[in-house]
Amino acid sequence: MTFGLTIEKLLLIGLIAVMIIGPERLPAAAESLRRTVQQVRRMARTAQERVREELGPEVADVDWQRLDPRQYDPRRIIREALLAEPDAVSAHGAVVGASDAAESGEPAPSAMVIPIDPAPATASAPAHAGDDSSPAI
């Protein structure tokens, strides 16, 4: 993470630090900065090791780059969803969701049944001429 720091900004900060600290105290300040950076790195490494120990070996196998939100690609997600095997499909509808009840012929309570109508929707029949219930257009 660069926090928007460019080479020019870093040089300007360094120049201002040299002017404020002065050439006599600059080596001591640089040494102090070096020790602080080393200490922060050591603390971060220790924290990473403790997290790995406490979460166990199953977390070490996770592909974190694949879960990175910056790698989000809706086309890949849709392609994977379309290529996935459906859990169960019935003659009158598609059952979405895993169900052990598919063997018994009943969808699981958590499954959603989507009806599939093979006949296309047709326009409603015209009103009879003698029917006064519908207005004439």
pLDDT in tens, the chain (137 residues): 567 889 999 899 889 988 998 888 988 988 999 999 999 999 999 998 998 888 887 777 778 787 788 777 888 888 888 888 776 444 444 444 444 444 455 545 554 556 566 555 555 555 555 555 555 55
pLDDT value at position 2? 63
pTM above 0.85, yes or no: no
- How far apart CA 68 and CA 79 sit, in angstroms, is 18
pLDDT value at position 44? 96
pLDDT value at position 136? 56
- Virtual CA dihedral for 43, 47, 53, 59, nearest 10 degrees? -140
- How far apart CA 33 and CA 27 sit, in angstroms, is 10
pLDDT value at position 46? 96
